[in-house]
């Protein structure tokens, strides 16, 4: 980072990611635990967190492993759950699309729910941010979350069955993201998209893993775009 403003943006990204550290650490430990219970080794469990860095896809894969699903079914399910990253990438393109190829590779690797949500909120709040500042903020959001996710996975993996059976922390992540999404609903189009996605996700919850959420996301985009079109924007 070559400027004071970029260093400041990086620090702000680190600070903004703090709530995710509180939730993400225990969530990573839980993933490590269930992975070991599913039959993965410590190395395989940690390697998945290093390569994938996507809690929802990783939990989906591990759940299917416990059901002895075929390898290709597990891979396709993980990809289906993570297809929302394509929508995230399209949303970030106007802000980060001018970055270098290596920077875009790093962005793709670190583009998770948290980094996207924090990044897009900051970019829309400060539309005059320069590319360097936007990049610094984005990477700042993940400089702590990435090691916490990996180390937490390792801790959970080596802990094995030492954690109490009644420990339940998986409810915390949806609550945190609901709080984030709430701050992003600023226009009628945002509200329409949010309501559509929520209702559609509930109605389609019986579909195979991940597919209902993908359809709900697509319908939300269509509704939001249509509201924007009708309002002449």
pLDDT tens for 100-156 read 999 999 999 999 989 999 999 999 999 999 999 999 999 999 999 999 999 999 999
Q: With respect to residue 177, please indicate whether it lies within any of the assigned structural domains.
A: no
Q: With respect to residue 115, please indicate whether it lies within any of the assigned structural domains.
A: yes
Q: With respect to residue 117, please indicate whether it lies within any of the assigned structural domains.
A: yes
Asked if residue 200 and residue 90 are part of one domain, the reply reads no
> Measured on CA atoms in the order 42, 45, 48, 53, is the torsion positive or negative?
negative
* Contact assessment for residue 148 and residue 25, using Cβ atoms and an 8 Å cutoff: yes
Asked if residue 44 and residue 141 are part of one domain, the reply reads yes
Number of domains in the chain: 2
Asked if residue 204 and residue 163 are part of one domain, the reply reads no
Asked if residue 130 and residue 193 are part of one domain, the reply reads no
Q: What is the pLDDT of residues 35-92, one digit of tens each?
A: 887 788 999 999 999 998 988 788 878 877 877 777 877 887 778 778 788 889 999 9
Q: What is the largest CA-CA distance in the chain?
A: 59
pTM of the model: 0.73
Asked if residue 77 and residue 9 are part of one domain, the reply reads yes
Asked if residue 196 and residue 90 are part of one domain, the reply reads no
Q: Residue 93: is its pLDDT beyond 90?
A: yes
Q: With respect to residue 172, please indicate whether it lies within any of the assigned structural domains.
A: no
Please report the pLDDT score of residue 133 as a whole number.
96
Asked if residue 125 and residue 24 are part of one domain, the reply reads yes
Mean pLDDT (whole number) for 17-27: 88
Q: Mind spelling out the 3-state secondary structure of 84-124?
A: HHHHHHHHHHHHHCCCCHHHHHHHHHHCCHHHHHHHHHHHH
Asked if residue 195 and residue 146 are part of one domain, the reply reads no
Q: With respect to residue 233, please indicate whether it lies within any of the assigned structural domains.
A: yes
Please report the pLDDT score of residue 207 as a whole number.
79
Tokens 């059976």 belong to: 165
Percent of all residues in the chain with a pLDDT value above 90, rounded to a whole number: 42
Q: With respect to residue 60, please indicate whether it lies within any of the assigned structural domains.
A: yes
Going by C-alpha positions, the residue among 170, 229, 223 that lies closest to residue 197 is 223
Asked if residue 140 and residue 43 are part of one domain, the reply reads yes
**Angle value at C-alpha 83, between 45 and 136, nearest 5 degrees:** 80
Please report the pLDDT score of residue 152 as a whole number.
94
Asked if residue 131 and residue 77 are part of one domain, the reply reads yes
pLDDT bucket at 206, cuts 50 / 70 / 90: confident
**Residue numbers of the domain that contains 31:** 4-167
């Amino acid at each position: 980072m070559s400027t004071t403003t970029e260093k400041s943006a990086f620090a702000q990204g680190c600070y903004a990611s703090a709530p995710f550290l509180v939730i993400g650490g225990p969530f990573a430990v839980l993933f490590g635990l269930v992975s070991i219970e599913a039959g993965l080794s410590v190395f395989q469990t940690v390697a998945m967190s290093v390569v994938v860095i996507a809690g929802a896809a990783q939990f989906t894969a591990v759940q299917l492993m416990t059901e002895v699903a075929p390898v290709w079914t597990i891979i396709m399910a993980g990809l289906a759950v993570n297809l929302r990253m394509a929508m995230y990438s399209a949303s970030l393109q106007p802000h980060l699309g001018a970055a270098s190829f290596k920077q875009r590779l790093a962005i793709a690797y670190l583009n998770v729910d948290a980094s996207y949500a924090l990044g897009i909120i900051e970019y829309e709040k400060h539309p005059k941010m320069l590319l360097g500042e936007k990049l610094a903020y984005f990477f700042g959001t993940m400089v702590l979350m990435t090691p916490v996710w990996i180390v937490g996975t390792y801790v959970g993996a080596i802990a094995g069955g030492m954690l109490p059976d009644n420990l339940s922390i998986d409810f915390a992540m949806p609550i945190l993201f609901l709080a984030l999404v709430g701050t992003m609903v600023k226009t009628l189009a945002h509200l329409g998209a949010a309501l559509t996605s929520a209702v559609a996700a509930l109605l389609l919850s019986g579909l195979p893993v991940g597919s209902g959420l993908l359809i709900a996301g697509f319908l939300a985009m269509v509704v939001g775009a249509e509201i924007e079109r009708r309002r002449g924007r």
